Amino acid sequence: MKKPFLTLILFNLTFGLTLPTTSTRAEEKTRVTPSQVIDQLNQLSKMREGLASSLVGRSSQDPITADTFQKVCAPVGKALREWASSSGVHAQQLATRFRNPTNQAQGTDAKLIQAWEKDPSQLTAVFTSVRDGKPGMQIVQRIPVAEGCLQCHGEKSSRPDFIQKKYINDQAHSFRVGDLRGIFSVWIPDES
């Protein structure tokens, strides 16, 4: 089950990465390039890691509230949505251990996450993919856990109150630094 899937990813990765250099038609058809997408996702990850690291070492007199969250994962989600709609791409954050059920990874995404959990060297994959019957290119980027993330994605019992109350079926806890938190998954349609 796992092996053919990994082979598919590797094949698609090679295929996807060679397309722009071997075919000018493919370049014309793509609005944003995979490397522009990867740059954008790296910037979002850096932004979140910076925001999260500012929370490390907070005192118990200064608890993390819903208001604090507005400064960490909320702006990343918002920036991703805004960038996706202005760039004409489809973008999501996905996880198998998710907090918001709308971010639940399924099918191929869930299989990819399972494979990447076991292999920390996997950072990016680019492959051709079809969405709603339309051809396009998929870019997947790893989201690792940094120290600051543990303030809200660490031990279940030490999650901030607002998270315990708002996310009843939260599975995005008990992570450790370096774990795979989830993936960014971006789909660029081929220009028709």
Residues in contact with ligand HEC by the rule CB under 6 A: 48-49, 52, 55, 64, 68-69, 72-73, 77, 93, 95, 98-100, 103, 143, 145-146, 148-149, 151-153, 163, 172, 181-182
Residue nearer to ligand HEC on the CB measure, 41 or 149: 149
Closest distance of CB 58 from ligand HEC, Å: 10
Residue nearer to ligand HEC on the CB measure, 103 or 124: 103
Q: How far apart are CA 47 and CA 103, in angstroms?
A: 20
Residue nearer to ligand HEC on the CB measure, 19 or 183: 183
**For residues 16, 19, 20 and 23, what is the CA-based torsion angle, rounded to 10 degrees?**
-170
Helix ranges (H only) for 72-179 are: 73-87, 107-117, 150-153, 161-166
Torsional class of 6: left (φ above 0), alpha (ψ -120 to 50), beta (otherwise): alpha
Residue nearer to ligand HEC on the CB measure, 78 or 134: 78
Residue nearer to ligand HEC on the CB measure, 19 or 95: 95
Q: How far apart are CA 84 and CA 71, in angstroms?
A: 20
Between helix 73-87 and helix 34-53 the angle, nearest 10°, is 160
Closest distance of CB 125 from ligand HEC, Å: 17
Closest distance of CB 88 from ligand HEC, Å: 23
Closest distance of CB 133 from ligand HEC, Å: 27
Closest distance of CB 12 from ligand HEC, Å: 23
Tokens of 8: 């598919």
Half-sphere exposure of 190 (CA within 13 A, CB side): 19
